[in-house]
Amino acid sequence: MKQKLFEILTFAAFIIAILAVFIASYLLVKLEPREQVYPLTAQIVELDRANDIVTCEDGAGLLWQFEGCEDWEEGDIASLLMNDNATPDNVFDDIIEMVRYAGF
């Protein structure tokens, strides 16, 4: 009998913990404004080593630039973490938050 009661209480505690996590995350999303970020893949198309500017092109043909030529080569693939600048309908004011090498 004690074993069965222990199992029921353990299961109830587990359900309550899951509900608490969902409720807390819902409240945090509602209370804190969050930046909207999205991933973008682009290919390096130009390196301006004199000014340390890398230009890359995404699948839609838009050109993006960031600083830091370092080990980049033309043709490399970059994964960009983009910020939509709180204007989801206007891609032209988006900014690059982070860049990572993704291959060649």
pLDDT tens readout for residues 38-56: 999 999 999 999 999 999 9
* pLDDT surpassing 60 at residue 103: yes
pLDDT of residue 6: 81
**pTM exceeds 0.75, yes or no:** no
* pLDDT surpassing 70 at residue 30: no
CATH architecture of the region 37-103: Beta Barrel (2.40)
Cα distance between the two ends of the chain:
63
41: nearest Cα among 76, 85, 5, 92:
76
